[in-house]
Amino acid sequence: MIKDRGKIKWGAAFMLPEMSSIQSRVDWDNKKVEKPLLDEDQLDEMNQTINYAVEYNLEQTYTIYDNGEYKLLMGKVHDIDEINKHLRIIDKFGELHVVNYEDIVKVLVAE
Protein backbone atom coordinates (compact mmCIF):
# COMPACT_ATOMS: atom_id res chain seq x y z
CA MET A 1 0.00 0.00 0.00
CA ILE A 2 1.45 3.36 -1.07
CA LYS A 3 0.26 6.78 0.13
CA ASP A 4 0.50 9.46 -2.49
CA ARG A 5 -1.13 12.91 -1.97
CA GLY A 6 -3.46 11.50 0.64
CA LYS A 7 -4.80 8.75 -1.61
CA ILE A 8 -4.18 5.11 -0.94
CA LYS A 9 -2.79 3.17 -3.88
CA TRP A 10 -2.35 -0.57 -3.93
CA GLY A 11 0.94 -1.90 -5.21
CA ALA A 12 1.02 -3.96 -8.39
CA ALA A 13 2.23 -6.98 -6.41
CA PHE A 14 -1.02 -7.26 -4.47
CA MET A 15 -2.98 -10.22 -5.75
CA LEU A 16 -5.37 -12.70 -4.24
CA PRO A 17 -4.31 -16.37 -4.34
CA GLU A 18 -7.36 -17.15 -6.47
CA MET A 19 -6.22 -14.60 -9.04
CA SER A 20 -2.80 -16.21 -9.18
CA SER A 21 -4.23 -19.67 -9.91
CA ILE A 22 -6.58 -18.24 -12.54
CA GLN A 23 -3.66 -16.43 -14.19
CA SER A 24 -1.60 -19.63 -14.30
CA ARG A 25 -4.53 -21.49 -15.89
CA VAL A 26 -4.90 -18.75 -18.50
CA ASP A 27 -1.17 -18.94 -19.24
CA TRP A 28 -1.44 -22.74 -19.53
CA ASP A 29 -4.41 -22.49 -21.92
CA ASN A 30 -2.50 -20.04 -24.11
CA LYS A 31 0.41 -22.50 -24.44
CA LYS A 32 -1.78 -25.40 -25.57
CA VAL A 33 -1.54 -26.55 -29.16
CA GLU A 34 -4.28 -28.07 -31.25
CA LYS A 35 -4.19 -31.74 -32.12
CA PRO A 36 -3.04 -32.17 -35.71
CA LEU A 37 -5.25 -34.04 -38.15
CA LEU A 38 -3.37 -36.80 -39.95
CA ASP A 39 -4.34 -37.88 -43.43
CA GLU A 40 -4.55 -41.49 -44.64
CA ASP A 41 -1.01 -41.47 -46.06
CA GLN A 42 0.49 -40.36 -42.76
CA LEU A 43 -1.50 -42.97 -40.82
CA ASP A 44 -0.44 -45.68 -43.26
CA GLU A 45 3.21 -44.65 -42.98
CA MET A 46 3.00 -44.75 -39.16
CA ASN A 47 1.45 -48.23 -39.27
CA GLN A 48 4.20 -49.48 -41.57
CA THR A 49 6.87 -48.01 -39.30
CA ILE A 50 5.32 -49.62 -36.22
CA ASN A 51 4.97 -53.01 -37.93
CA TYR A 52 8.57 -52.86 -39.19
CA ALA A 53 9.88 -52.09 -35.71
CA VAL A 54 7.77 -54.86 -34.15
CA GLU A 55 9.01 -57.38 -36.72
CA TYR A 56 12.68 -56.58 -36.08
CA ASN A 57 12.29 -55.72 -32.36
CA LEU A 58 13.55 -52.15 -32.84
CA GLU A 59 13.16 -49.22 -30.48
CA GLN A 60 10.91 -46.38 -31.62
CA THR A 61 10.37 -42.75 -30.70
CA TYR A 62 6.71 -41.73 -30.45
CA THR A 63 5.41 -38.18 -30.48
CA ILE A 64 2.17 -38.29 -28.50
CA TYR A 65 -0.47 -35.58 -28.19
CA ASP A 66 -1.61 -35.25 -24.57
CA ASN A 67 -3.95 -32.53 -23.35
CA GLY A 68 -2.67 -29.69 -25.50
CA GLU A 69 1.01 -30.59 -25.60
CA TYR A 70 3.36 -33.04 -27.25
CA LYS A 71 5.24 -35.69 -25.31
CA LEU A 72 8.02 -37.99 -26.47
CA LEU A 73 8.12 -41.67 -25.58
CA MET A 74 10.97 -43.98 -26.48
CA GLY A 75 10.53 -47.70 -26.25
CA LYS A 76 9.58 -50.98 -27.89
CA VAL A 77 6.09 -52.17 -28.71
CA HIS A 78 5.09 -54.93 -26.32
CA ASP A 79 1.59 -55.52 -27.67
CA ILE A 80 -0.79 -54.13 -30.28
CA ASP A 81 -4.45 -54.19 -29.24
CA GLU A 82 -6.49 -53.89 -32.43
CA ILE A 83 -9.83 -54.15 -30.62
CA ASN A 84 -9.29 -51.30 -28.14
CA LYS A 85 -7.02 -49.44 -30.59
CA HIS A 86 -4.00 -48.90 -28.39
CA LEU A 87 -0.35 -49.89 -28.12
CA ARG A 88 1.46 -51.17 -25.07
CA ILE A 89 4.98 -49.78 -25.12
CA ILE A 90 7.81 -50.64 -22.74
CA ASP A 91 10.28 -47.78 -22.26
CA LYS A 92 14.01 -48.01 -21.42
CA PHE A 93 13.22 -48.19 -17.71
CA GLY A 94 10.89 -51.16 -18.11
CA GLU A 95 7.70 -49.17 -17.51
CA LEU A 96 4.61 -50.10 -19.49
CA HIS A 97 2.76 -47.27 -21.26
CA VAL A 98 -0.64 -47.69 -22.88
CA VAL A 99 -1.04 -45.28 -25.80
CA ASN A 100 -4.18 -44.79 -27.89
CA TYR A 101 -3.71 -44.87 -31.66
CA GLU A 102 -5.49 -41.53 -31.96
CA ASP A 103 -2.96 -39.80 -29.70
CA ILE A 104 0.09 -40.81 -31.75
CA VAL A 105 1.24 -37.97 -33.98
CA LYS A 106 4.57 -39.27 -35.28
CA VAL A 107 6.63 -42.47 -35.12
CA LEU A 108 10.34 -42.81 -35.84
CA VAL A 109 12.56 -45.88 -35.64
CA ALA A 110 15.46 -45.16 -33.30
CA GLU A 111 18.73 -46.05 -34.98
Based on the domain organization, do 101 and 73 belong to the same domain?
Answer: yes
Alpha-carbon gap, residue 96 to 78, rounded angstroms: 8
* pTM score of the predicted model: 0.69
Taking alpha carbons only, the member of 81, 86, 68 closest to residue 31 is 68
Tens digit of pLDDT at every position of the chain (111 positions): 455 565 555 555 555 566 566 666 655 566 678 888 899 999 999 999 999 999 999 999 999 999 888 999 999 999 999 999 999 999 999 999 999 999 999 999 986
Q: Which residue type is seen at 54?
A: V
Do 53 and 25 have their domain in common? no
Is the same domain home to 58 and 93? yes
**What's the CATH code of the domain at 90?**
2.30.30.520
Count of domains forming the chain: 2
**Cα 44 versus chain centre, distance:** 22
Give the three-state DSSP class for 55.
helix
Q: Are 14 and 46 in the same domain?
A: no
pLDDT at position 8: 58
Q: What's the longest Cα–Cα distance across the chain?
A: 79
> Given this model, what pLDDT does residue 10 score?
55
What per-residue confidence (pLDDT) applies to 68?
A: 86
Asked whether residue 72 falls in the same domain as residue 95, the answer is yes
DSSP state of 32: -
What's the CA gap between 45 and 91, in Å, rounded?
Answer: 22
